[in-house]
């Protein structure tokens, strides 16, 4: 076995797992082009993927997963903290010793007939003081090729690591091969044998049985959020489920904004937005995760720890997000999309009709009028951030970029105005703690109401969420220069009138709201007090060129006291989940809101 490191702790760790998993061979990934091409050749020959038409999608490949392995599996995701209360009410807890015992039984011989790949990867630019290094063991070449896009991966990472510490990430698809047994296109274990487990005290990730997305690309949500959020609490920084964008005004002044939205609220669209107001420019640092640390100057600086986008394909088009479409023009891995007869890809609302003869993700042939599901609703593209047309020139700056504003938001057809600003850091933390989306019973088969997703971190916080709120409060309290803390806003692109008509056009026109946020940070825009926070004056948001009436704008910025009194009752119910872990500062903010509404 050729190792690429002299780090004895790492070598011992790999040897220990090789003894348990019993692979046919062990390969240390160097991240080279040659290695990448060789792995794709092996997977194409094995029928695991298809090389797409090079004229249409240069250097791109399409995979289809097993139908049992198409998304994150929250009910199979565990936080294995020493004490159950440290996992909190929003996580599945399991006893760490018991879980390791269960999984070690499953890992025994799980890589027979397969290669064990060792993936050294950096979350964040190499050498950044905000970055962290992980090592993932896997038996999936699909994982290796995806991790090469999603992280900085290979020999250069081991050079930076030296004899240092790393975050150990163990993964197997859980499908050993007997001698002479033919492999399947997408090996994985049955749903009840899938485990995605996190050990906060020892900063370990053990994943078994799934080959899909964040269940298998362990740098993604497992390290970047669940384990990083624990490290951030201990070390005094923030690991957040947030996009980062740069916005430049017509005078050439630039500011950076981070934003957290629950899923299906337009996060990637905002990160890659093309402004509709003349003279403004938006550039992308990242579309999913932000790690933020205070600099020596007291300012909060953010990096995107990832190097690629793992984007939801359906409903991405030239109309909704041209920059995302061009990010995946080449060098892209597609999972669970349709494959057209001319070797291209297709998904719902891509912008053109599905060609006859397209093969759906389950292998069925589509003909016009048939009910074949061509692309899975969670079909994905894995694309390099450097291929994004609006990537920010500082996206790989090891120092990070200074954050002026933080946005929160969810899908709220009523109650919540288009935009409002927090009075201070604690009030902003309160706003983040109550975000969520309104759902109808028909939408997801649940009782209608507001699904709270605090800070958009509900599935990703690696410890008790009450303590996580407390960590945000502490960040504000311990900031060396409180005047430099980012200003906090709540946005809601999804407000409707009584007839169900969208009041706000969204997409590129969201730049009009960003412009007001920018001007508030610049000290050049006025705001008016309301019981819930600071609102724009009615004419403060530029609606020139929009088919919108002054009345629509009035409705968009309206704070209806009756609706907010009902909201308060829902917030009380939400906060009750956290018991004595709810920070006093948030209880005070709720009391203030009640008093202001009265």
DSSP 183: P
Ramachandran bin of 385, using left for φ above 0, alpha for ψ from -120 to 50, beta for the remaining angles: alpha
For the chain, the straight-line distance linking the first and the last C-alpha, in angstroms and rounded, comes to 71
Residue 370 exposure: Cα atoms within 13 Å on the Cβ side: 15
Residue 24 tokens read as: 């046919």
C-beta separation of 211 from 446 below 8 A: no
Q: What share of the chain is helix, strand, coil (3-state, %, to 5)?
A: 30, 20, 45
C-beta separation of 342 from 323 below 8 A: no
- Burial zone of 596 (CB within 10 Å; 0-12 exposed, 13-18 middle, 19+ buried): middle
Backbone angles phi, psi at 107, to 5 degrees: -70, -20
Q: How far apart are CA 253 and CA 398, in angstroms?
A: 22
- Burial zone of 258 (CB within 10 Å; 0-12 exposed, 13-18 middle, 19+ buried): buried
Which residues on adjacent β-strands are paired with residue 312? 380
Q: How far is CA 519 from CA 100, 261, 497, 510, in A?
A: 52, 22, 28, 14
Which residues on adjacent β-strands are paired with residue 123? 132
Which residue, 170, 169, 153, is CA-closest to 161? 153
Give the 3-state secondary structure of 226-249. HHHHHHHHHHCCEEECCEEEEEEC
C-beta separation of 289 from 304 below 8 A: yes
Segment (H or E) for 119: strand 115-123
Q: How far is CA 310 from CA 149, 212, 292, 328, in A?
A: 9, 11, 21, 10
C-beta separation of 500 from 319 below 8 A: no
Q: How far apart are CA 196 and CA 205, in angstroms?
A: 8
SS3 for 537? coil
Q: How far is CA 494 from CA 385, 443, 507, in A?
A: 28, 16, 11
Residues 6+ apart with CB under 8 A from 524: none
Q: How far is CA 84 from CA 80, 177, 195, 249, 364, in A?
A: 8, 37, 18, 49, 45
Residues known to be catalytic: 265
- Burial zone of 142 (CB within 10 Å; 0-12 exposed, 13-18 middle, 19+ buried): buried
């Amino acid at each position: 076995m050729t190792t690429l490191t002299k780090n004895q702790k790492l070598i011992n760790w790999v040897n220990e797992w090789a003894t348990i998993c019993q692979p046919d061979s062990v390969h240390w990934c160097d991240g080279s082009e040659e290695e990448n091409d060789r792995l794709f050749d092996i997977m194409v020959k094995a029928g695991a993927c298809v090389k797409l038409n090079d004229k249409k999608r240069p250097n791109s490949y399409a995979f289809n997963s097993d139908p049992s392995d198409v998304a994150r599996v929250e009910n199979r995701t565990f936080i294995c903290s020493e004490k159950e209360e440290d996992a909190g009410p929003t996580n599945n807890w399991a006893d760490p010793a018991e879980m390791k015992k269960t999984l070690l039984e499953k890992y025994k011989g799980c890589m027979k007939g397969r290669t064990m790949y060792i993936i050294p990867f950096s979350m964040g630019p190499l050498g950044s003081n905000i970055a962290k290094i992980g090592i993932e063991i896997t038996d999936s070449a699909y994982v290796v090729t995806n991790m090469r896009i999603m992280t900085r991966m290979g020999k250069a990472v081991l050079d930076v690591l030296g004899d240092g510490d790393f975050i150990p990430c163990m993964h197997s698809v859980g499908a050993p091969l007997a001698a002479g047994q033919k492999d399947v296109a997408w090996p994985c274990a049955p749903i009840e044998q899938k485990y995605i487990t996190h050990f906060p005290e020892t900063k370990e990730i053990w994943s078994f049985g799934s080959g899909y997305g964040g269940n298998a690309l362990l740098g993604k949500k497992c390290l970047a959020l669940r384990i990083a959020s624990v490290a951030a609490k201990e070390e005094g920084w923030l690991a957040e489920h947030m996009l980062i964008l740069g916005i430049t005004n017509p005078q050439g002044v630039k500011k950076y904004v981070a934003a957290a939205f629950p899923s299906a609220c337009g996060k990637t669209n905002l990160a890659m937005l093309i402004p509709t107001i003349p003279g403004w420019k938006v550039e992308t640092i990242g579309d999913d995760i932000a790690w933020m640390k205070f600099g020596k100057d007291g300012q909060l600086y953010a990096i995107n720890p990832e190097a690629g986008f793992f984007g939801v394909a359906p409903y991405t088009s030239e109309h909704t997000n041209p920059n995302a479409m061009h990010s995946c023009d080449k060098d892209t891995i597609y999972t669970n999309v349709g494959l057209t007869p001319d070797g291209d890809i297709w998904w719902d609302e891509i912008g053109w009709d599905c060609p006859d003869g397209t093969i759906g993700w389950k292998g069925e042939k589509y003909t016009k009028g048939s009910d074949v599901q061509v692309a899975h609703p969670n079909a994905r593209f894995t694309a390099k951030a450097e291929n994004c047309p609006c990537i920010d020139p500082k996206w790989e700056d090891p120092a990070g970029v200074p954050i002026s504003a933080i946005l929160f938001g969810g899908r709220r057809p009523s109650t919540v105005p288009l935009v409002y600003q927090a009075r201070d850091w604690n009030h902003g933390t309160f706003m983040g703690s109550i975000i969520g989306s309104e759902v109808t019973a028909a939408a997801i088969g649940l009782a209608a109401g507001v699904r709270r997703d605090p800070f958009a971190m509900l599935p990703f916080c690696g410890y008790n969420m009450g303590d996580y709120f407390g960590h945000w409060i502490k960040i504000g309290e311990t900031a060396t220069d409180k005047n430099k803390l980012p200003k906090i806003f709540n946005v809601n692109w999804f407000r409707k009138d009584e007839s169900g008509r969208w009041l706000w056009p969204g997409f590129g026109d969201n730049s009009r709201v960003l412009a007001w946020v920018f001007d508030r940070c610049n000290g050049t825009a006025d705001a008016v007090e309301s019981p819930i926070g600071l609102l724009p004056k009615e004419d403060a948001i530029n609606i020139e060129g929009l088919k919108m009436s002054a009345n629509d704008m009035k409705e968009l910025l309206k704070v209806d006291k009756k609706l907010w009194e009902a909201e308060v009752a829902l917030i009380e119910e939400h906060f009750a989940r956290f018991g004595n872990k709810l920070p006093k500062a948030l209880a005070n903010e709720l009391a203030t809101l009640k008093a202001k509404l009265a």
